[in-house]
Chains A and B, each alone.
Chain A
Amino acid sequence: MTVVPALRTVGQMRQGDHLLLGYDTDEERDTVLAAFLLDGLASGQRGLVLPPADIPAGVALSFLEAHGCRVDEEIATGRLCVDPQLAVPEGLWDLDEAIRREARRAVGDGFLGLRVCTEVLRAQAGKGLKTLHDSELLLDPVFASLPVLGICQYDRRVFDEAELVPIAGLHHGRVGADAVWRDELLAITRTFAPPGLALAGEVDESNVTAVARALHTETARARARTAGGAHIRLDLRELHFIDVGALRLLVFTALGLYASGGTLVLTGVAAHVQRVMRVAGWDRVPGLRFEPSGEPP
């Protein structure tokens, strides 16, 4: 098995992929799974969800409604399915067999393949995660031989990172949400805990509009999340260059948020970027806050 430790975005997934999603919030999980399942519908593949409890299909898939999916219709036509395999305590034991069977059935029903999402529960993982380990090991040949791709979901509020590292090694890598924007200079991605955006690379006059658009969308999300002032976090740890025009956009965004009781929080700002902000007189703007990088409090 080739281990690719790099993070791939859900939109980059292809047949045969068996990736691990470690998520911090339900919003992060729903964002990734919605993209995964909707991409499948667009590609003529069946979507199969294995929820951790025996709940009606419409309920298990209701999170897709917010993404413009007509869930009842998709269930009625068999394009989306829910299987209670993992709702029973011994569900992990023959997970490989269940997915092999479902992949064949999807092809038999006229689909181009199967996309499967499995929520892994600690209760089923076995002593020292042994059952889980064996189950993930058995899954690999299934993904290698059938037209199927899958995401194993691990709640990071339940599994800690030390536990996830060896499990990730049994996958082809990890998956994360799609980039909000990606060009040859800049990647803008959503962060979920805490919610916000991460900017990696360089921002200049060629892509500042993408940053403006992402900030606008993020502002709407933040306003929907809280009744009071909207607080937006920008993780700038991997931002190596930002020019005056783009910094001005951040300043004006901060002033706009401040006017309605909010803030723009910049984390991990590089020393040379801080210097530019100080020289430009933008180090003490109302509504603009700097926080050191690292885990926020």
Chain B
Amino acid sequence: MTRTGLVHQALRYGSDDEFLAGTAEHARAGLDDGDTVLAVVSAHNISLLAGALGDRSGEVEFVDVRDWYDYPSRTLGRYHAYCDRLGPDRHARVIGEPVWTGRSDFETHEWLRYESLLNVVFAGTGHRILCPYDTRTLPDAVVRGAARTHPELAGESGTLYADPADFCAECDEHRPAALSAGPQDIRFARGRSAAVRRALTAYARGLGLPEQRTHDLVAAVHETVVNSVRHGGGQGVVRLHSDPDYVICEIRDDGSHASAPRPRLPGHLPPRPHAASGHGMWLVRQLSDLVADDLDPAGSVVRLYFRHRHPVSPLREG
């Protein structure tokens, strides 16, 4: 069968029965259609769903949320890689329940942004994604957010769906403040990125970041600096800050004031190997934990966040 649209539904449930009523039906319908079915839910919900599916549970791929929903960009990367492996003729039926507990206001809104971006990033793919939201435990803001980030609500009528561009702009309001100038600021200019890499390596090592994360940080900031040099007027400054949760690197430029159109979804779509551009920003998002980017011809500010300790291993293949 041929499907071209994306179906992205939220399932707001208040009991195990409601969870099963929505998800088991989604899984069975997928198996009946010949789709590949992936359920990324909590351990508790894995056992519920597997029990309800009985013999057919062996046909469903179950993944624990902790191995999947660590950082929004990497989760997006996993879904891209997963769907890519299916090839052009098979569709995915996904039950995906992001982790919302223990998230800061900033992190929560980056995950809400992620839910909204799914509508754009997977538009026209024919995949079907069902996102369960547990109304018993989740904050109201998250449950309300589900209605604005999903074009359809399973088992509910009406929708408050918001255009992703508008919704993302709202999420921007919840980003932490920009870094202020400080003695550790690193100026950069065309052809001088090596000095930035030296200073970053020393800074990251001084904070005790593991060797691999130091490489990731240096590579991500370098690519952002290269972008600033190329598109942002040739020079700028890197500001550094470390708080209890994150090492933060902010890359600012004065802009090229060119009238070139802003890139659409910069770094949210995996670039093709043969593409002449697009790999840098994709890499920045995949190597960083969170990215707050404001790409503007009148001067861009990009903040990259690297968590001090990883709750789960980064970049685990999906």
Docked-complex contact A280 and B279, CB < 8 angstroms: yes
Docked-complex contact B193 and A205, CB < 8 angstroms: yes
- Does residue B68 face the partner (Cβ distance < 8 Å to A)? no
- Does residue A243 face the partner (Cβ distance < 8 Å to B)? yes
Docked-complex contact A279 and B226, CB < 8 angstroms: no
- Does residue B212 face the partner (Cβ distance < 8 Å to A)? yes
Interface string of B185-208 (1 = CB under 8 A from A): 000000111100100000000000
Docked-complex contact A245 and B271, CB < 8 angstroms: no
What is the distance, in angstroms, from A271's C-beta to the closest C-beta of chain B?
A: 8
Residues of A within 8 A of B197 (CB): 202, 204, 241
Interface size on B, residues (CB 8 A): 28
Given contacts A241-B218, A255-B274, contact A279 B287 (CB under 8 A): yes
Docked-complex contact A202 and B194, CB < 8 angstroms: yes
Given contacts A205-B193, A251-B273, contact A272 B215 (CB under 8 A): yes
Docked-complex contact B219 and A204, CB < 8 angstroms: no
What is the distance, in angstroms, from B194's C-beta to the closest C-beta of chain A?
A: 6
* Chain A: CB-nearest residue to B282: A280
Interface string of B268-303 (1 = CB under 8 A from A): 001111101001101100110000000000000000
Docked-complex contact B193 and A281, CB < 8 angstroms: no
Residues of A within 8 A of B192 (CB): 206
User: Which residues of B, 215-252, contact A by the 8 Å Cβ criterion?
Assistant: 215-216, 218-219, 222-223, 226, 229
Given contacts A244-B283, A275-B315, contact A282 B273 (CB under 8 A): yes
Give Cα distance in the complex from A282 to B273, angstroms: 6
Docked-complex contact A276 and B194, CB < 8 angstroms: no
Given contacts A185-B194, A205-B229, A243-B226, contact A279 B286 (CB under 8 A): yes
Tell me the number of A-to-B contacts counted with CB atoms below 8 Å.
Answer: 70
Docked-complex contact A285 and B273, CB < 8 angstroms: yes
- Does residue A213 face the partner (Cβ distance < 8 Å to B)? no
- Does residue A248 face the partner (Cβ distance < 8 Å to B)? yes
| Residue from A185, A255, A279, A282 whose CB has the most chain B CB atoms within 10 Å | A279
User: Which residues of A, 255-297, contact B by the 8 Å Cβ criterion?
Assistant: 255, 271-272, 275-276, 279-282, 284-285
Given contacts A202-B194, A204-B194, A206-B194, contact A244 B273 (CB under 8 A): no
* Chain A: CB-nearest residue to B211: A272
User: Which secondary structure dominates where chain A touches chain B?
Assistant: mixed
Residues of A within 8 A of B315 (CB): 275, 279
Pick from A241, A245, A255, A281: contact of B226, CB under 8 Å: A245
Residues of A within 8 A of B229 (CB): 205
Give Cα distance in the complex from A169 to B273, angstroms: 49
Give Cα distance in the complex from A279 to B215, angstroms: 13
Residues of B within 8 A of A282 (CB): 273, 279
Residues of A within 8 A of B276 (CB): 248
* Chain B: CB-nearest residue to A206: B191
Give Cα distance in the complex from A285 to B194, angstroms: 28
Residues of A within 8 A of B223 (CB): 243-244
* Chain A: CB-nearest residue to B215: A272
Give Cα distance in the complex from A285 to B279, angstroms: 14
Docked-complex contact B194 and A248, CB < 8 angstroms: no
Docked-complex contact B212 and A272, CB < 8 angstroms: yes
User: Which residues of B, 120-171, contact A by the 8 Å Cβ criterion?
Assistant: none
Give Cα distance in the complex from A125 to B259, angstroms: 74
Given contacts A272-B212, A281-B270, A281-B272, contact A244 B194 (CB under 8 A): no
Residues of B within 8 A of A255 (CB): 274
Give Cα distance in the complex from A248 to B273, angstroms: 9
What is the distance, in angstroms, from B87's C-beta to the closest C-beta of chain A?
A: 15
What is the distance, in angstroms, from A248's C-beta to the closest C-beta of chain B?
A: 7
Residues of B within 8 A of A271 (CB): 212
Docked-complex contact B272 and A244, CB < 8 angstroms: no
* Chain B: CB-nearest residue to A270: B215
Give Cα distance in the complex from A61 to B107, angstroms: 72
* Chain A: CB-nearest residue to B194: A185
What is the distance, in angstroms, from B113's C-beta to the closest C-beta of chain A?
A: 21
Residues of A within 8 A of B273 (CB): 251, 281-282, 284-285
Docked-complex contact A205 and B270, CB < 8 angstroms: no
13 residue pairs from A and B, CB less than 8 Å apart: A206-B191, A241-B219, A243-B193, A243-B222, A244-B223, A248-B279, A272-B212, A272-B215, A275-B215, A276-B287, A280-B279, A281-B271, A281-B273
Listed from nearest, the 5 A-B pairs whose CB atoms lie closest are: A272-B215, A206-B191, A244-B280, A280-B279, A279-B286
Which B positions have Cβ atoms within 8 angstroms of A?
77, 191-194, 197, 212, 215-216, 218-219, 222-223, 226, 229, 270-274, 276, 279-280, 282-283, 286-287, 315
